[in-house]
Amino acid sequence: MTKIHVNPNGRTILVTGSPGFIGANLVLRLLMEMMAGTVISLDDMNDCGDAALKAHRLCLIERAADASSARHVFIRGSVADRALVNHVFEEYAPGVVVHLAARDDAQCPEACVESNLAGFFNVIDACRRHPVAHLVYASSDSVYGDNKKMPSGTDDRTDHPLSLYAATKRSNELMAYSFASRYGIPCTGLRFFSVFGPTEGPDGFCRAATDALLRGDRVPIPNGGNCLRDFIYIDDAVEALFRVMQGAPRRGVDDDDAPAAPYALCNVGSGRPENLLDFLSALHQALISAGLLPADHDLSAHRELSPMQPGEAPVTCADTGALEADYGCRPAIGIREGLKRFAEWYREQM
């Protein structure tokens, strides 16, 4: 699909969920790349996840803003607050919106629905009333459910979500399509797979496993150890997001010569799934090399083969063809290099 070039330099870009893992790293990239313009960060700094880590990421953003030619504005508030979202659009008139704010359903299903459904509607409806060049939003590989077809492609079935979170993300995609079709809002949804690396939160396997190993606890490996995950390093995920921002879908025609909405979906993964046992072994070696674990640390005594957890699929693998074809984007950081960088970051934070 041909794209409309959207130059981020000099624009006002709104990033929701900016103190989050992907959001913070995107804002840092924007502040490094942009020679002019404004980056608006919107987040409520909720207690979901590691509050201290969110504050740490926000501190990194503020330092980067001091050295950037672009301006950074942080607004504390929820995307579920319709009046606030409307105010942000009226006050700053963003030209590009990257919507990453979301809540999982594990601890608070009500907050998941409020943020992921009401919050998404508030943002996309504001894009309707204050037209933007491109709305990019985070979806998830969880929309594929227990999909037996591998690798998972964006044309595959997504009508069997295994969690409320997955259902809300698929709902976001459908809402985006309807707004793109009816109002012409250029929308691109990114189905992120397992993103890992420095500043990762405790909800990610890499960080959770590291925390457990350093506490002396066991690391559970789902599905009796027979579990594959498509991991992608944070810098590669942000590179994909940065490139997608700059290529908005255009209106066209479908195979039947009917008008087609300016709407696209892309998987953001490596396309090379890793067995969790192998990934954990590589992480273990990285932690030893970084001096976080002793050289004689026995990994076999600190892992536990566990049943498949509700809401999870035994295998995830991304078909990244659209991302490569439309944006020329391929992961550059391998698992071992990425884990080395993660372990070094973790050591610096202790």
Residues facing 221 on adjacent strands: 305
Active site residue 165: yes
Distance CA 29, CA 66 (A): 14
Q: Which residue has the tokens 């996840």?
A: 49
Question: Is 174 within 8 Å of 137 (Cβ atoms)?
Answer: no
Angle between helices 335-349 and 205-215 (to 10 degrees): 50
Q: What is the 3-state secondary structure (H, E, C) of 203-225?
A: CCHHHHHHHHHHHCCCEEECHHH
Torsion angle, alpha carbons of 125, 126, 129, 132, to 10: -110
> Out of 137, 144, 165, 346, which one is annotated catalytic?
165
Distance CA 187, CA 62 (A): 29
Distance CA 270, CA 22 (A): 16
Helix (H, G, I), strand (E, B) or coil at 253: strand
Residues facing 214 on adjacent strands: none
Tokens of residue 13, six digits = 């870009």
For residue 269, give the nearest of 300, 310, 303, 229 by alpha carbon.
Answer: 229
Write the DSSP symbol of residue 49. S
Distance CA 116, CA 118 (A): 6
- Phi, psi for 22 (deg, rounded to 5): -75, -40
Question: Is 289 within 8 Å of 332 (Cβ atoms)?
Answer: no
Q: Is the peptide bond before 151 cis (omega within 30 degrees of 0)?
A: yes
* Sign of the torsion formed by the C-alpha atoms of 245, 248, 254 and 255: negative
Active site residues: 165
